[in-house]
């Protein structure tokens, strides 16, 4: 994967050579044919009826021959009746002399002696040498090709960084939303490069490296493009994986070249996308030491340290694995500014959706506030994808405007995968309906949970059904009460199965998985159990994380047993609560499940019609 891009380039190069070679081959074959034709045509001439010299002399005497061409030892005979013949003599002998010796009247025939040392001689020399010349030329050509290939091996060292100028990218900060802090930090940097004197006067030091960290699809690359669009300075962009080459040392050479170029055109910006491809923590011990990566990384560090204070080159790097980066990269004077580009909040999602909604027609059923609320956990890329899918749905059903339902459908598809047209037995359907209704009912009757947005028994991806309960408000803090309630909601599916059918299914595996990780985090990280406010797990410090991850846990065996005990307590309490709610609300549960079997999906309003408004 790391070499993918370069391989593509090489294939292209090869194709180009191949074409050149083809052209040459065609020329070669053509010339060869011409030469062959020449020799064949002389063969044809040779194939003229050959007569003896005596006969010819006799025929000249008889006046049958009007003209002869003497070419070396060959004599072409032109008869009066326009026939042709050929005869041979010794090269040293003169034809005229032969005629005179035989007492032929020289006036009876026209004798043309062609100068063999002259033009025809040259022609024959060229003719004879032609194949040799062609062969030599061909080999020279091949040799040059080989040399060219060698040269391109050496040119690997040059960075392939694309250089952007302002007019080349239309992306600006206007195209980015929901990541306001990151935006304003980068705006500052753009300003720094644009008006460097202003900062210099006040003695401010140029920031050297900016690291954009965040999950994929949240707009890191987009932000960098926007910086390129905004800054009126040269912008060099390269992806970390492009540094990785098959030849050791090439990555480092590339880095050198890239930085040299950037320095030459300072003030300038270097953007290294996906830097984790090179900058992975060296001590993590996950994979064997990778010489190439190590050298490339070292070269980056050397270059960044080598900037002199007014060099005015800023390095922006992006990664979605900030936790895996080598701590050497993060030291002061290197990537000392860390900008988190995280999932957008409600307001951010609304703004991003608006950006990508531009140019698409929507009908009046679309409520952007609702869309923003519903799309918890969506990245910018997810939102873009969602609106695109919605447009496809609308187009497919022949409407000219996108509806709220299209967006809802698209949002579900983006997160849960496309609908599966699985054949379900009635019993399967019933089980799924009660399972999902269980989640919804438990959530509905708990005090601190959010309203149910949608329940469905249409299977998608891995899920047989789903219940969506997006948070109504963005919370900065999760409370213990809310986390415990969430665990109860997750247990709601299994609780319903058990209560109604006195049977359990495999469908709850994912619920347990999620519930368990919440419970574990409560005990280990958040200090929300009887074990008290102590962190029992790996530290959360990102720069340290890579290092500690493979070290022995500092927790003793007894403590681990206690942690397990606490986790179990949280889960079983949550489960008991869920069963309790299911049992007391059995009637509405039946109604919801029944509707689900009939309609397959219920939205929040339909659900509330059955169970009443959430308090």
What is the binding site for ligand ADP (CB under 6 A)?
Answer: 176-179, 216-222, 318, 352, 355, 380-381, 384
Whether residue 276 contacts residue 310, with contact meaning beta carbons closer than 8 Å, is answered with no
Identify the CA nearest to 183 among candidates 136, 138, 219, 156: 219
Does residue 574 interact with Zn ion by CB under 5 A?
Answer: no
Tokens of 518: 């919440």
Q: DSSP labels for 438-466?
A: HHHHHHHHSSSSPPP-EEE---BTTBS-E
Taking the least distance from each CB to Zn ion, the nearer of 493 and 604 is: 493
**347 catalytic residue (yes or no):** no
Taking the least distance from each CB to Mg ion, the nearer of 221 and 486 is: 221
Taking the least distance from each CB to ligand ADP, the nearer of 211 and 463 is: 211
Sheet with 84-88, side-by-side order of all strands: 84-88, 74-79, 65-71, 110-113
Taking the least distance from each CB to Mg ion, the nearer of 271 and 536 is: 271
Which residues, including other chains, have CB under 8 Å from residue 291's CB and lie 6 or more apart? 248
Which residues, including other chains, have CB under 8 Å from residue 412's CB and lie 6 or more apart? 454, 456, 460, 466, 468
Q: Whole-number minimum distance, CB 378 to Mg ion, in Å? A: 17
Which residues, including other chains, have CB under 8 Å from residue 46's CB and lie 6 or more apart? 86
Q: Whole-number minimum distance, CB 605 to Zn ion, in Å? A: 22
Which residues, including other chains, have CB under 8 Å from residue 361's CB and lie 6 or more apart? 400, 401, 402
Residue 574 binds what, of Zn ion, Mg ion, ligand ADP, none (CB under 5 to 8 Å, by partner type)? Answer: none
Taking the least distance from each CB to Zn ion, the nearer of 493 and 546 is: 493
Which residues, including other chains, have CB under 8 Å from residue 611's CB and lie 6 or more apart? 441, 444, 588, 591, 592
Residue 178 binds what, of Mg ion, ligand ADP, Zn ion, none (CB under 5 to 8 Å, by partner type)? Answer: ligand ADP
Q: Whole-number minimum distance, CB 595 to Mg ion, in Å? A: 43
Does residue 459 interact with Mg ion by CB under 5 A?
Answer: no
What's the distance, CA 391 to chain centroid?
Answer: 25
Q: Whole-number minimum distance, CB 463 to Zn ion, in Å? A: 8
Residue 33 CB: number of other CB atoms within 10 A? Answer: 11
Q: Which of 209, 219, 279, 493 binds Zn ion (CB under 5 A)?
A: 493
Q: Whole-number minimum distance, CB 243 to ligand ADP, in Å? A: 17
Q: Which stretch binds Zn ion (CB under 5 A): 189-197, 204-212, 275-283, 492-500?
A: 492-500
**Residue that has been written with the tokens 């984790």 in this structure:** 276
Whether residue 161 contacts residue 300, with contact meaning beta carbons closer than 8 Å, is answered with no
Residue 116 binds what, of Zn ion, Mg ion, ligand ADP, none (CB under 5 to 8 Å, by partner type)? Answer: none
Taking the least distance from each CB to ligand ADP, the nearer of 220 and 444 is: 220
Q: Which stretch binds Zn ion (CB under 5 A): 260-268, 367-375, 487-495, 572-580?
A: 487-495
Does residue 221 interact with Mg ion by CB under 5 A?
Answer: yes
Residue 381 binds what, of ligand ADP, Mg ion, Zn ion, none (CB under 5 to 8 Å, by partner type)? Answer: ligand ADP
Residue 384 binds what, of Mg ion, Zn ion, ligand ADP, none (CB under 5 to 8 Å, by partner type)? Answer: ligand ADP
Burial class from Cβ neighbours inside 10 Å (0-12, 13-18, 19+) for residue 124 reads: middle
Residue 437 binds what, of ligand ADP, Mg ion, Zn ion, none (CB under 5 to 8 Å, by partner type)? Answer: none
Residue 229 binds what, of Mg ion, ligand ADP, Zn ion, none (CB under 5 to 8 Å, by partner type)? Answer: none
Q: What angle do CA 293, 294, 295 make, to 5 degrees?
A: 95
Q: Which of 511, 522, 571, 588 binds Zn ion (CB under 5 A)?
A: 511
Q: Nearest residue to Zn ion, using CB?
A: 493
CA–CA distance, 42 with 139 (Å, rounded to integer): 29
Taking the least distance from each CB to Mg ion, the nearer of 221 and 295 is: 221
Sheet with 454-456, side-by-side order of all strands: 466-468, 454-456, 601-603
Identify the CA nearest to 231 among candidates 195, 283, 205: 195
Q: Whole-number minimum distance, CB 320 to Mg ion, in Å? A: 8
Q: Which of 242, 436, 485, 497 is catalytic?
A: 436
Query: Is the C-alpha dihedral spanning 164, 166, 170, 175 positive or negative?
Result: positive
Q: Whole-number minimum distance, CB 220 to Mg ion, in Å? A: 5
Q: Which residues are catalytic?
A: 436
Residue numbers at the binding site for Zn ion (CB under 5 A): 493, 511
Residue numbers at the binding site for Mg ion (CB under 5 A): 221
């Amino acid at each position: 994967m790391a070499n993918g891009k370069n391989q593509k380039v090489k294939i292209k190069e090869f194709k180009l050579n191949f074409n050149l070679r083809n052209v040459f081959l065609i020329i070669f074959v053509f010339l060869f044919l011409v030469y062959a034709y020449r020799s064949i045509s002389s063969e044809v001439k040779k194939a003229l009826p050959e007569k003896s010299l005596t006969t010819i002399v006799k025929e000249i005497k008889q006046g049958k021959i009007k003209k002869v061409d003497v070419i070396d030892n060959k004599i072409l005979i032109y008869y009066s009746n326009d026939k042709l013949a050929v005869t041979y003599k010794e090269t040293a002998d003169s034809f005229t002399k032969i005629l005179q010796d035989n007492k032929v009247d020289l006036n009876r025939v026209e004798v043309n002696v062609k100068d063999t040392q002259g033009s025809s001689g040259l022609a024959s020399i060229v003719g004879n040498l032609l194949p040799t010349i062609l062969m030599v030329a061909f080999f020279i050509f091949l040799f040059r090709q080989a040399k060219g290939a060698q040269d391109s091996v050496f040119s690997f060292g040059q960075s392939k960084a694309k250089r952007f100028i302002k007019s080349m990218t239309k992306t600006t900060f206007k195209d980015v939303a929901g990541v306001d802090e990151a935006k304003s930090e980068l705006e500052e940097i753009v300003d720094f490069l644009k008006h460097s004197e202003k900062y210099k006067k006040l003695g401010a030091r140029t920031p050297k490296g900016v690291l954009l960290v965040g999950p994929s699809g949240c707009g890191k690359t987009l932000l960098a493009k926007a910086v390129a669009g905004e800054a009126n300075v040269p912008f060099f962009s390269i992806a970390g994986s492009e540094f990785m080459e098959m030849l050791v040392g090439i990555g480092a050479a590339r880095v050198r070249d890239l930085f040299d170029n950037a320095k030459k055109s300072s003030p300038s910006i270097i953007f290294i996308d996906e830097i984790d491809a090179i900058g992975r923590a060296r001590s993590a011990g996950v994979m064997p030491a990778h010489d190439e990566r190590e050298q490339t990384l070292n070269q980056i560090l050397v270059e960044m340290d080598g900037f002199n204070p007014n060099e005015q080159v800023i390095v922006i790097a992006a990664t979605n694995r900030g936790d895996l980066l080598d701590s050497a990269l993060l030291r002061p004077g290197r990537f000392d500014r860390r900008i988190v580009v995280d999932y957008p909040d409600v307001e951010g999602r609304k703004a991003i959706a608006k950006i990508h909604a531009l140019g698409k027609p929507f009908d009046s059923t679309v409520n952007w506030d609702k869309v923003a609320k519903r799309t918890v956990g969506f990245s910018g890329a997810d939102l873009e994808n969602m609106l695109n899918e919605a447009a496809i749905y609308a187009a497919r059903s022949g409407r000219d405007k996108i509806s709220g339902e299209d967006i809802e459908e698209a949002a579900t598809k983006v997160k849960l995968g496309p609908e599966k047209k699985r054949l379900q037995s009635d019993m399967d359907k019933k089980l799924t309906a009660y399972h999902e209704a269980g989640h919804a009912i438990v959530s509905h009757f708990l005090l601190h949970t959010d309203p149910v947005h949608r329940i469905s028994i249409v299977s998608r991806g891995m899920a047989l059904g789903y219940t969506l309960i997006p948070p109504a408000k963005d919370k900065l803090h999760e409370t213990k009460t809310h986390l415990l309630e969430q665990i109860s909601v997750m247990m709601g599916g299994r609780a319903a199965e058990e209560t109604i059918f006195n049977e359990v299914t495999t469908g709850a595996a994912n619920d347990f998985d999620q519930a368990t990780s919440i419970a574990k985090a409560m005990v280990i990280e958040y200090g929300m159990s009887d074990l008290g406010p102590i962190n029992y797990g790996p530290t959360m410090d990102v720069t340290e994380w890579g290092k500690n991850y493979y070290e022995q846990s500092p927790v003793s065996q007894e403590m681990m047993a206690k942690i397990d005990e606490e986790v179990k307590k949280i889960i079983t309490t949550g489960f008991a609560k869920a069963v309790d709610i299911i049992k007391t609300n059995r009637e509405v549960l039946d109604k919801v499940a029944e509707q689900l079997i009939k309609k397959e999906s219920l939205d929040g309003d339909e659900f509330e019609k059955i169970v009443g408004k959430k308090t």
